[in-house]
Amino acid sequence: MPDALFDRVAIIGIGLIGSSLARVLRRDNPQTRIVACARRAETLAAVERLGIADEVTDDPAAAVERADLVVIATPLSAYAEIGRRIAPSLQDGAIVTDVGSVKGAAIAALHAVLPDRAHFVPGHPVAGTEHSGPEAGFAEMFRDRWCILTPLPETAPDAVAKVAALWEMAGMRVATMAPDHHDKVLAVTSHLPHLIAYTIVGTATQLGEDLQSEVVAYSAGGFRDFTRIAASDPIMWRDVFLTNREAVLELLQRFSEDLTALQRAIRRGDGEILHDWFTRTRAIRRSIIEAKQA
Amino acid sequence: MPDALFDRVAIIGIGLIGSSLARVLRRDNPQTRIVACARRAETLAAVERLGIADEVTDDPAAAVERADLVVIATPLSAYAEIGRRIAPSLQDGAIVTDVGSVKGAAIAALHAVLPDRAHFVPGHPVAGTEHSGPEAGFAEMFRDRWCILTPLPETAPDAVAKVAALWEMAGMRVATMAPDHHDKVLAVTSHLPHLIAYTIVGTATQLGEDLQSEVVAYSAGGFRDFTRIAASDPIMWRDVFLTNREAVLELLQRFSEDLTALQRAIRRGDGEILHDWFTRTRAIRRSIIEAKQA
């Protein structure tokens, strides 16, 4: 059996992402000891039932004791409090990483409170489903997806390499970029799409009772795909929009301008503008298929 | 072998939907003679290569001769011209149906020009993929989806029943409703989602070269699903928006108001509004899963 990457891994927040990572560790590094930490007793009970951790606790400080890797996988709004609570218990040389969708906010919440004796490697595995909780996780979720690490100038390269090795073990491709660049890219590829999906599904649910059962029945015409995205975890996504506010609002402005232009073309019956636009958007789909991200 | 539903079926426009229906007929009613009509020689060559028709022609009038069923499956903008051309060649008692996404427009284009000796049954199989052309079709595409028929008060019930039987053979559930109600329901479940997807993918493609390759690489975070929808046939969708203008513009107005409300909540940092909204949208997903349309 090859050496495990880590001896003792503390996973703080054991939902979809955290539990999927625990399953990867169980599969590929079975000798690694996994400590799962969650606030709610029913989450910890589910983790025990699933057998994806060796120890469970609701105390982040206790969870990180003697851990050589700490993975923070809670919603972003919990980061500052968790950082404050785990800081005194981190062992010398412990690596702390996270999986949050907004790296500027993750760094703002954790960087100042974590002690110098620990190595903080901000990270974001770009993978997931619309389901939440430890039952929803699965080891293959990360396969062939990208993980973005946004190390700080002072982050030790060895620590970055070990976190990269962890996600590569999970099947991911790993890229490194500046935190603010990450937040701009993800605003396009993830945050705006979620906001739009949440909006349109909300619009449709307010159309009155009689129309609503028909909206459900005939959802296969396109609406269905939006409902999948709009079923994602409400707390996680509230935090994303509150913490990546500037990038999301800037993009939203562009989106609204474009939507108004198409609305105007529809009202004026200008088919050429519509046709040209719809032809251009078709091309980007081909790029995604070629990049094997379809 | 059971009797075939029809002896001779003319399919005018043999793209994704038309070719999928041809495959259903081949599979379930192999004794039915299929005539495929398309404007372009390469489409007809593809149909011959695929072996999904017994005869091919680029002349709609020739295609419908002696046919007991005519299926119009072109973009909506071609309907009026096709109706005018096939009218003199339709045999007594022929059933004419269509598969267009906007029933008001389909009826407006065809009802007046089709002769009384033919039975017009407007229809809309709510199924499809983002791919186009006869190669993209497959018989199973219709399975467990809904087909909506919008017969006129004077449409013969027997003709409606035969068209319903055709789509049921394809595996569809068949519903009947008024044309304008159909157009309102589909504006929600299909037309607005497509317009929004086209918009957001267009917005993302205008962000500059350097960001664009990253948008493709990290599209798995949600954007990917929109690109699939925004890869749908540009001509078909141009016609949908031009012909279902009132219903789409009315909904777009509601959508924009809702988006502005969420934008305001993000700008003001009002997490409660976001969380409440995102929780409500999660519920409709469950309804769709329960309705087996997920």
Size of interface A-B (CB pairs under 8 A): 298
Compare all CA atoms of chain A with the CA of B272 and give the residue at the minimum distance.
A238
Q: What is the pLDDT of residues A75-122, one digit of tens each?
A: 999 999 999 999 999 999 999 999 999 999 999 999 999 999 999 999
3-state secondary structure of B74: coil
Q: What pLDDT, on the 0 to 100 scale, is given for residue B135?
A: 97
Average pLDDT, chain A: 94
Q: What pLDDT, on the 0 to 100 scale, is given for residue A150?
A: 98
Q: What pLDDT, on the 0 to 100 scale, is given for residue A101?
A: 96
Mean pLDDT of A241-246: 97
Q: What pLDDT, on the 0 to 100 scale, is given for residue B22?
A: 98
Q: What pLDDT, on the 0 to 100 scale, is given for residue B208?
A: 76
All residues at 6 or more sequence positions from A2 whose CB lies less than 8 Å from its CB, including other chains: none
- Cα–Cα distance for residue pair A100/A78, rounded to 1 Å: 11
Q: What pLDDT, on the 0 to 100 scale, is given for residue B285?
A: 83
Contact assignment for B229 to A225 by CB distance below 8 Å: yes
Contact assignment for B238 to A200 by CB distance below 8 Å: no
Q: What pLDDT, on the 0 to 100 scale, is given for residue A284?
A: 82
Stretches where chain B sits below pLDDT 70 are 1-2, 293-294
Q: What pLDDT, on the 0 to 100 scale, is given for residue A94?
A: 98
| CA–CA distances in Å: residue B207 to residues A183, B5, B203 | 14, 53, 7
User: Which of B249, B254, B287 has its CB closest to that of A266?
Assistant: B249
Contact assignment for B266 to A282 by CB distance below 8 Å: no
Q: What pLDDT, on the 0 to 100 scale, is given for residue B75?
A: 95
Residues B6-16: b if buried by 16+ CB within 10 A, e if exposed: bebbbbbbbbb
- Give the DSSP letter string of B6-44: -SEEEEES-SHHHHHHHHHHHHH-TTSEEEEE-SSHHHH
The residue among B227, B232, B235, B165 whose CA lies nearest residue B200 is B227
Q: Residue B68: how many CB atoms within 10 A of its CB?
A: 18
3-state secondary structure of A93: coil
Contact assignment for B216 to A251 by CB distance below 8 Å: no
Q: What is the pLDDT of residues A3-32, one digit of tens each?
A: 899 999 999 999 999 999 999 999 999 999
CA distance B144 to chain A (A): 10
Q: Strands, E, within B46-143: which ranges? A: 55-57, 69-72, 95-98, 119-121, 123-125
- Give the DSSP letter string of A165-191: HHHHHTT-EEEE--HHHHHHHHIIIII
Q: What pLDDT, on the 0 to 100 scale, is given for residue B212?
A: 80
Q: Which two tokens stand for residue B184?
A: 């309102």
3-state secondary structure of A95: strand
- Cα–Cα distance for residue pair B222/B225, rounded to 1 Å: 6
- Cα–Cα distance for residue pair A228/A224, rounded to 1 Å: 7
- Cα–Cα distance for residue pair A140/B72, rounded to 1 Å: 44
Contact assignment for B281 to A205 by CB distance below 8 Å: yes
ipTM of the complex: 0.91
Identify the helix (H) or strand (E) that includes residue A149.
strand A146-149
Sign of CA dihedral B226, B230, B232, B238: positive
Contact assignment for B266 to A241 by CB distance below 8 Å: yes
Strand B123-125 to B146-149 pairing: antiparallel
Contact assignment for A203 to B291 by CB distance below 8 Å: no
Q: Best interface-test mutation with B: which of A77, A182, A211, A219 has the largest number of B CBs within 10 A?
A: A219
Strand B55-57 to A55-57 pairing: unpaired
Place of tokens 């491709």: A173
User: Which of A190, A207, A231 has its CB closest to that of B221?
Assistant: A190
Q: Which two tokens stand for residue A28?
A: 């590929």
The residue among B20, B25, B21 whose CA lies nearest residue B6 is B25
CA distance B241 to chain A (A): 6
Residues listed for chain B: 294
Place of tokens 């760094």: A107
The domains located in chain B, with CATH, are 8-177 (3.40.50.720), 181-290 (1.10.3660.10)
Q: Which two tokens stand for residue A131?
A: 């389901």
Q: Which of A16-20, A41-45, A228-232 has the lowest mean pLDDT?
A: A228-232
Q: Which two tokens stand for residue A68?
A: 């050589």
Q: Best interface-test mutation with A: which of B212, B213, B264, B282 has the largest number of A CBs within 10 A?
A: B282
Q: What pLDDT, on the 0 to 100 scale, is given for residue A293?
A: 67
Contact assignment for A224 to B275 by CB distance below 8 Å: no
Compare all CA atoms of chain B with the CA of A125 and give the residue at the minimum distance.
B221
The residue among A207, A188, A116 whose CA lies nearest residue B254 is A207
Q: What is the pLDDT of residues A156-201, one digit of tens each?
A: 999 999 999 999 999 999 999 999 999 999 999 999 999 999 999 9
Model confidence band, residue A211 (pLDDT cutoffs 50, 70, 90): confident
- B235: chain A residues, CB-CB within 8 Å: 275
Q: What is the pLDDT of residues B47-83, one digit of tens each?
A: 999 999 999 999 999 999 999 999 999 999 999 999 9
Asked if B119 and B97 touch (Cβ cutoff 8 Å), the reply is no
Q: What pLDDT, on the 0 to 100 scale, is given for residue A2?
A: 66
Q: What pLDDT, on the 0 to 100 scale, is given for residue A237?
A: 96
Phi and psi, residue B150, nearest 5°: -125, 70
User: Which of B229, B266, B277 has its CB closest to that of A222?
Assistant: B229
Model confidence band, residue A285 (pLDDT cutoffs 50, 70, 90): confident
Contact assignment for A228 to B263 by CB distance below 8 Å: no
Compare all CA atoms of chain A with the CA of B256 and give the residue at the minimum distance.
A256
Indicate the pTM of the whole model: 0.90
